[in-house]
Amino acid sequence: MPEQHLNVRVKEVRDLVDAKGFSSTPDRFWEMAALIHTEVCEATDAYKKGEPAERVGEELIDAVIRIFHLLSALGLDADDLFEKKMAKNWNRPYRYNTVRGG
Ligand SMILES: [Mg+2]
């Protein structure tokens, strides 16, 4: 069994949002998914404006925090999902057989 690094952070986020009065019911999926997008957009905007990398990173961490919140709301095991998905990705071909981007 892998160490539970991500799940520790997911619980940290859940403790914070609970303490701050935010709800974490799975029916908020659409709203929470949209809010993840807003943080990625904020990171994109900060990068576009030439803000320091740390400022861009702060927005990316906001996205991670919101992703952890959503994982918690859905009752998912982040470490297990991460391990399985990374194993799947390692088994994919070079550049995942894409032609453009990636
Ligand atoms: Mg933000």
Residue 27 pLDDT more than 60? yes
What share of the chain in percent tops pLDDT 70? Answer: 97
**What is the Å distance from ligand 1's center to 26 Cα?**
22
For ligand 1, an ion, list residues with CB under 5 A. 39, 42, 59, 62
**What is the Å distance from ligand 1's center to 12 Cα?**
18
Give the CA count within 13 Å in the CB-facing half-sphere of 33: 6
Tokens 């453009």 label which residue? Answer: 100
pLDDT at 1: 55
Please give the CATH number for the structural domain made up of 5-97.
1.10.287
C-alpha–C-alpha distance, residues 29 and 79, integer Å: 20
**What is the Å distance from ligand 1's center to 93 Cα?**
35
